[in-house]
């Protein structure tokens, strides 16, 4: 080796240039062979395997990055023969380190991509942790590169970090806050990708599509994207609708406001008509028997409906709603089930339905809710009840104004 080195040093400048040119050509040929022959053969082999890791490694360009290392390592091993300058030597090893770090980042991205497609990704999102790991790797890589270029030990630069702790904490304040928030999101299972969350203060209402270290992406129902800083989202209040989806029921909470002028006692003709309604026929018979027994035991005169106990059209309608919903195929009977009368208001007497549909899909839920109220509004007149409605222009046109004679 010493003889070869002496020979290199003794040759002329023109011959030395030829040596440099030869090394460059060989390095380029090594790159081409590695990139287009070896790597293509490896890629072709990986595609035939059943594992997904090798396919993702190709997709993320891990092997392509490694192909740059071969010619650089070849040149670096000839540094003594080429009598390279110190700065060229440092630049060369810096490039090797830079490509190596880039390959590690690509490999981590490949692992993250595989995990995101697995069944475990819905339970725990690790994207923020991946970004933290990459951040530390890149910071460490930068320190190594600076150390290589300056010719000093990495420990020299690491020792100076302690003195810059306050400055670094200020620079990475948002990163530290986001890291703590990401840990809080994962450990407390606040939300995950696919959850429907509502954060009015940020104008966000939709599905979570990405959870990163610094931000959370939410696709709103109008297909716009809201990007919210992770630490700000966890510091404020938001609503997660996952509980509704997991429960298997979606709440229906809506009222029909009855015109109180249409509320009255039921006479015999009304009761006979109600008995023909299959949903409440048993209810009418039971109630009528119960009322008759009560009135007889208390010697109540039944000639006036106001005496004793009597059925009302509003109470019977409420019983009809309950019976109709109990027999509805799309109502969840194992969850909260209420048909209640609220306090009278200036715009009528609210009869509120508080039940849960068995289908949580938004489109199906709206259809179920609409069909229920279509039926109830249509059947309301059978109970001699009217819906309260503010007068419209047509109502005012029907009003006849009579002038008083002077």
Does any domain span residue 401? Answer: no
Does any domain span residue 41? Answer: yes
Does any domain span residue 405? Answer: no
Domain check: are 36 and 178 in the same one?
yes
Q: How far apart are the first and last CA of the chain?
A: 133
Domain check: are 178 and 196 in the same one?
no
pTM: 0.59
Does any domain span residue 97? Answer: yes
Distances (CA, A) of 373 to 48, 313, 353, 390: 58, 18, 10, 19
Domain check: are 18 and 140 in the same one?
yes
More confident residue, 175 or 369: 369
Q: How far is CA 49 from the centre of its chain?
A: 33
Domain check: are 105 and 196 in the same one?
no
Domain check: are 169 and 312 in the same one?
no
User: Radius of gyration over alpha carbons of the chain, in Å?
Assistant: 39
Other Cβ atoms less than 10 A from the Cβ of 331: the count is: 21
Does any domain span residue 276? Answer: yes
The DSSP secondary structure of 105-166, one letter per residue, reads: HHHHHHHHHHHHTSTTTTT---HHHHHHHHHHHHHHHHHHHHHHHHT--HHHHHHHHGGGHH
Domain check: are 166 and 54 in the same one?
yes
How high is the pLDDT of residue 402?
47
Highest mean pLDDT among 126-140, 163-177, 310-324: 310-324
- Res 125 pLDDT > 80: no
Q: Please, are residues 343 and 353 in contact by the beta-carbon 8 Å criterion?
A: no
How high is the pLDDT of residue 102?
86
How high is the pLDDT of residue 174?
81
- Res 15 pLDDT > 70: no
Domain check: are 354 and 325 in the same one?
yes
| Domain CATH number, residue 225 | 2.30.30.60
Does any domain span residue 245? Answer: no
CA distance 388 to 399: 18
Q: What angle do CA 367, 373, 375 make, to 5 degrees?
A: 100
pLDDT-above-90 percentage for the chain = 31
Does any domain span residue 398? Answer: no
Burial annotation 245-266 (CB, 10 A radius, 16+ → b, else e): eeeebbbbeebbbbeeebbeeb
| Domain CATH number, residue 365 | 3.30.70.100
Q: Which band of pLDDT confidence, cut at 50, 70 and 90, is reported for residue 4?
A: very low
Domain check: are 16 and 157 in the same one?
yes
Domain check: are 111 and 161 in the same one?
yes
Give the residue numbers spanning the domain of 206: 190-240
The mean pLDDT value of the chain amounts to: 82
CA distance 175 to 183: 12
How high is the pLDDT of residue 179?
80
Domain check: are 94 and 211 in the same one?
no
- Res 172 pLDDT > 90: no
More confident residue, 300 or 202: 202
Domain check: are 145 and 7 in the same one?
yes
Does any domain span residue 115? Answer: yes
How high is the pLDDT of residue 314?
94
Q: What is the count of structural domains for the chain?
A: 3
- Res 312 pLDDT > 70: yes
Q: Please, are residues 313 and 270 in contact by the beta-carbon 8 Å criterion?
A: yes
CA dihedral 34, 39, 45, 47 (to 10 degrees): -170
Domain check: are 27 and 105 in the same one?
yes
pLDDT tens by residue, 90-108: 778 888 888 888 888 888 8
């Amino acid at each position: 080796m010493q003889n070869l080195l002496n020979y290199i040093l003794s040759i002329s400048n023109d011959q030395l240039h030829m040596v440099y040119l030869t090394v460059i050509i060989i390095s380029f040929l090594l790159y081409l062979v590695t990139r287009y022959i070896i790597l293509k053969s490896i890629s072709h082999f990986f595609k035939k395997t059943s594992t997904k890791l090798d396919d993702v490694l190709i997709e993320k360009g891990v092997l392509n990055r490694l192909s740059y290392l071969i010619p650089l390592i070849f040149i670096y091993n000839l540094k003594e023969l080429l009598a390279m300058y110190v700065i060229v030597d440092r630049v060369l090893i810096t490039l090797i380190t830079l490509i190596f770090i880039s390959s590690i980042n690509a490999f981590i991205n490949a692992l993250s991509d595989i995990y995101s497609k697995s069944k475990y990704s819905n339970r725990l999102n690790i994207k923020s942790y991946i970004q933290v790991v990459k951040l530390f790797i890149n910071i460490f890589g930068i320190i190594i590169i600076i150390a290589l270029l300056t010719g000093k030990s990495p420990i020299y630069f690491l020792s100076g970090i302690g003195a810059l702790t306050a400055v670094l904490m200020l620079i990475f304040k948002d990163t530290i806050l986001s890291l703590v928030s990401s840990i809080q999101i994962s450990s407390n299972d606040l939300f995950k990708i696919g959850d429907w969350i509502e954060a009015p203060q940020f104008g966000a209402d939709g599905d979570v599509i990405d959870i990163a270290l610094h931000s959370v992406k939410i696709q709103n129902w109008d297909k716009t994207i809201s990007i919210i800083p992770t630490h700000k989202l966890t510091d404020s209040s938001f609503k997660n609708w996952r509980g509704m989806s997991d429960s298997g029921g979606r709440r229906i909470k809506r009222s029909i406001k009855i015109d109180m002028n249409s509320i009255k006692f039921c006479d015999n003709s009304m009761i006979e008509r109600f008995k023909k309604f299959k949903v409440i026929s048993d209810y009418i018979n039971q109630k009528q028997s119960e009322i008759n027994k009560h009135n007889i035991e208390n010697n109540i005169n039944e000639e006036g409906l106001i005496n004793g106990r009597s059925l009302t059209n509003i109470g019977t309608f409420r019983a009809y709603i309950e019976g109709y919903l109990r027999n509805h195929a799309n109502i969840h009977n194992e969850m909260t089930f209420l048909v209640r009368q609220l306090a009278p208001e200036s715009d009528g007497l609210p009869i509120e339905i508080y039940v849960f549909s068995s289908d949580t899909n938004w489109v199906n839920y709206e259809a179920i809710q609409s069909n229920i109220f279509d039926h109830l509004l249509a059947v309301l007149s059978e109970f001699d009840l009217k819906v309260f409605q503010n007068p419209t222009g047509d109502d005012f046109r029907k009003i006849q104004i009579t002038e008083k004679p002077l």
